[in-house]
Amino acid sequence: MGKIERFEDLECWKSARELVKTIFVLSDTGKLNQDFETSRQLRRASLSIMNNIAEGFGRLSNKDFRRFLDIAVGSAFEVKSIIYVLEDLKYISNEEIQELHNKVNKTINQTIGLIRYLNKQIK
């Protein structure tokens, strides 16, 4: 992995940003727009992914960065769980559900990959 100078260059952050955008757009439509609490929690959890990746990048050690990435992954799994609620309540279409699953899974996989890389650096 080459030297990353900015958190904006991290693939996991870019994927989290795409996920946040999709969630914000979807939460402004249909039944999800009418369920303020679920929409708000989904938005907050998705923002937590993106922001914890960025905040962790700004820490002075790989160990601290990894801790923030762990939090980001936890938030991503929270988003994943909420997606099942959206599916069960038919808040959004099946295509939108699949899009969200794909985006959150990509973010999780990339973030876990970065955690594994940092774990090797810490040892």
Which among 6, 116, 111 is positioned nearest to 50, based on CA atoms? 111
* Domain segments of the chain as ranges: 9-122
Helix runs in 29-93, H state only:
30-34, 36-57, 62-88
9-122 placed in CATH 1.20.1440.60: yes
Instruction: Summarize the confidence of residues 13-23 as an average pLDDT.
Output: 98
- 57-106 per-position pLDDT tens digit: 999 899 999 999 999 999 999 999 999 999 999 999 999 999 999 999 99
**Where residue 2 falls among pLDDT bands split at 50, 70, 90?**
low
Determine the pLDDT at residue 4. Answer: 85
**Residue pointed to by tokens 């914890």:** 52
